[in-house]
Structure formats: structure tokens, C-alpha cells
Amino acid sequence: MRIGYGFDVHEIVADRPLVLGGQRIPAEFGLLGHSDADVVLHAVMDAMLGALALGDIGQHFPNTDVRFKDADSLELLRHVSQLVHDRGYQLGNLDVMVLAEAPKLAPYSLRMRESIATACACEVDQVSIKATTMETLGFVGRKEGIAAQAVVLLVSEGE
């Protein structure tokens, strides 16, 4: 088995859709980024890549490459999941913590879990998504950004 950790943060901006866990979340703001700025999926991909010592998403999908401008992070996650599979591993489980003051994410958690499970070819009960506020502390607490942390366990296929 292999364990990986991922972290990502994006700045809150007006006039962009908010995409988290592969889902558009109703909000009056979005996140700034080269791709769709899905902070959840970016942390997940970094955790998966890290578990297999394959670098990070910046190496695989550089923000200097126009091919990834406004990219759908679910498509990028499918690619990373295939890399994992090609190396003989599959997702054992994934645990994500989203740090955001707003919006409340509980109503969208199941849809996010389903999107990730589909992209990673696993069961929904292998994917956990939780959210917390920062109690008005730091850049997240001041509503300047949203962050996500992810821990992944990859297991050899067939186990």
C-alpha cells in the first residue's frame, strides 16, 4: 500500500463559477486558477501522485501550458487515476477536508463524492469529503480563499 497527502488553495474572485469536487456549487464567487480551480480535485490529484512518487499536478498539468487553460479537473483526475492503475494500484480510500467559510458544502457532499468515485473507478463509500470553517481566522476566515487537504491510501490491484 502507498499513502499520499495533497494540499491546494485558490483565491476567491468574482465572476467565476465555483467548482468543488467536480460539481458547480451555487455561490456569488468562484476561485482563481489556470484550470477550473477545483481546489478539492487538485488536492486529491496531488495526494494520488505523491503516493506513487510521481511528482505533483504542476508537473503533469503546468499552468504555463495552454492545453490546461480552463481545464475540467475531473478530466485531469481521470488521467491521474489511469496513471495509478497503470502502475498496478487502485484507490483504497480517500479523505478530503475542505477549509471554507462559505458556502455550506454539506448539501453537495454526496454529489462530489460520486463524481470523484466515478473518475477514480471506485465505490462512493471509499471517498469521504468533510468541510470546516476557520472561525474567521487567516485568509480562509477572511473569505480570501478556499483550501483543501486530501489523504489517500492506494492498494495494489487484486488485494
Binding residues, by number, are 8-10, 34-35, 42, 56-58, 61-65, 132-135, 139, 142
Question: Which set of grid coordinates corresponds to residue 153?
Answer: 491510501
Q: E strands, 26-68, where?
A: 30-31
Question: Which set of grid coordinates corresponds to residue 60?
Answer: 503533469
| Cα-based torsion angle of the residue sequence 148, 153, 156, 159 in order, rounded to the nearest 10 degrees | -130
Q: Which residue ranges are tagged as binding site for a divalent metal cation?
A: 8, 10, 42
- What residue type is assigned to position 15 of the chain? D
